[in-house]
Amino acid sequence: MRAAYIEELGAADVIRYGEIAAPRPGPTDVLVDVLATTVNPVDTFVRSGLFPTPVDFPFVVGRDLVGTVAEAGPGATGFRAGDRVWCNSLGHGGRQGAAAEQAVVAADRLYRLPAGVDPYAAVAVVHPAATAYLALFVHGRLRMGETVLVAGAAGHVGSALVTMAVRAGARVLATAGSQDAPYCVRLGAAEVFDYRDPDLTGKIRGAAPSGIDLHLDTAGVNDLQSTVGLLARRGRVVLMAGAGTRPVLPAGALYMNDRSVVGFVISHATSGELAEAAACLNDLVAQGALRARSIEVLPLSAAADVHARIERGELRGRRAVLRTDRAPLAEGPR
Ligand SMILES: NC(=O)c1ccc[n+]([C@@H]2O[C@H](COP(=O)([O-])OP(=O)(O)OC[C@H]3O[C@@H](n4cnc5c(N)ncnc54)[C@H](OP(=O)(O)O)[C@@H]3O)[C@@H](O)[C@H]2O)c1
């Protein structure tokens, strides 16, 4: 089968595109004919070695796939040949990746795609939206009626955070570039603040005088000095980006108000947590309530180029979807 794979960790140009042996499913696995995959920032971290995780060479890159069941092992109950399915947890933790014509997925990491949902539209959201679910509900413990601040609300993860938090009954305040404010309002944000405003903290405090219950910064600025002071009692900060930041933590303001700071990566989510997220995502995509802002469809052979473009920050607001030759749909922006 053809695949985008690496023989060593390194820069984007270590990704090769060519023939490797097709994988064989174990008894509780499903063999999937892949229609499309994506490239996430974390795929570049795995490829370069920045995110350490076991890899066997040749190593197929990529987390996410949408495809069709080719064969289900005898213990992979609930799946049959021809089922349309998706996954968002390949390519790390000892599992081969998704950027190939076929992939093996453990049955407990595979989910049905709801009828009528466009596979490209679905695969574009499964990583950022599952991240948003985990941030809000698993690590952020969001409750109905709480006030949530989403920094970077126009991004892939940020837009999913706004969508899900609003639907969970939260009041959502957002920060974004001024040109992205209308988009954030369409997603349901109650107020949007320009992240370049020198009085950003003052404006947020004015909009949430009782404090922020849950603060999520997808831009990875991680200004805890300001953020902790904006929190309500028992307010939570969930860190998920900005690995190189070294924020100052005002300890007294934190512990004397029962506030907390917690971090997470989707890579360590349990299969149960991912399945919970998948159920929520499936509901939202089936209703048309969750979609990427724009999608660029490219052939799987463009994987190395897309990795490089993501690392250069060239895909602003767009998700790259890489299609295999099993998916005879048109390329280009959608
Ligand atoms: N922890 C996890 O499990 C996990 C999972 C997925 C992703 N991530 C991380 O989450 C981050 C976001 O990913 P993404 O795909 O959503 O990126 P993205 O689409 O580029 O979104 C980032 C957004 O932040 C905005 N922004 C830039 N500077 C800002 C600032 N100072 N204040 C507020 N917003 C600002 C950007 O706006 P402009 O376009 O104006 O710059 C952009 O809209 C990445 O670092 C990624 O690695 C973590």
CATH number of the domain at 322, please: 3.90.180.10
Average pLDDT rounded to a whole number, residues 154-180: 98
Query: What's the pLDDT at 96?
Result: 98
Query: What's the pLDDT at 183?
Result: 98
Distance of CA 9 from the midpoint of ligand 1 (Å) = 24
CA distance 246 to 156: 24
Query: What's the pLDDT at 325?
Result: 83
Distance of CA 70 from the midpoint of ligand 1 (Å) = 36
- Nearest CA to 164 out of 183, 150, 179, 180 is that of 150
Helix (H, G, I), strand (E, B) or coil at 128: helix
Point out the ligand 1 atom lying closest to the alpha carbon of residue 243: 45
Instruction: Report the percentage of the chain scoring pLDDT > 70.
Output: 98
Helix (H, G, I), strand (E, B) or coil at 6: strand
Ligand 1 binding pocket (C-beta < 6 A) is 41, 128, 131, 151-152, 154-158, 175, 177, 195, 218-221, 240-241, 264-266, 316
Average pLDDT rounded to a whole number, residues 133-152: 98
Query: What's the pLDDT at 81?
Result: 96
CA distance 238 to 242: 12
Burial per residue of 80-119, b for 16 or more beta-carbon CB atoms within 10 angstroms, e otherwise: eeebbbbbbbbbbeebbbbbbbbbbbbbebbbebbeebeb
Do residues 90 and 10 share a domain?
yes
Do residues 105 and 23 share a domain?
yes
Q: How far is CA 291 from CA 12, 245, 268, in A?
A: 27, 30, 25
Average pLDDT rounded to a whole number, residues 158-174: 98
Amino acid at 218: T
- What is 223-258 written as a DSSP string? -HHHHHHHEEEEEEEEE-S-TT------HHHHHTTT
Do residues 230 and 323 share a domain?
no
Do residues 55 and 105 share a domain?
yes
Least confidently predicted of 13-27, 231-245, 315-329: 315-329
Confidence of residue 327 (pLDDT cuts 50, 70, 90): low
Confidence of residue 144 (pLDDT cuts 50, 70, 90): very high
Average pLDDT rounded to a whole number, residues 29-36: 98
Could you identify the residue written with the tokens 């040109």? 179
CB 200 within 8 A of CB 175: yes
Q: How far is CA 7 from CA 47, 54, 93, 105, 217, in A?
A: 10, 13, 17, 21, 35
Number of domains present in the structure of the chain:
2
Do residues 297 and 241 share a domain?
no
| Domain encompassing residue 302 | 2-113+293-333
**Smallest CA separation from ligand 1 atom 42, residue:** 155
Distance of CA 217 from the midpoint of ligand 1 (Å) = 8
Point out the ligand 1 atom lying closest to the alpha carbon of residue 263: 1
301 has a pLDDT exceeding 80: yes
Say if 281 falls within a structural domain: no
Say if 275 falls within a structural domain: no
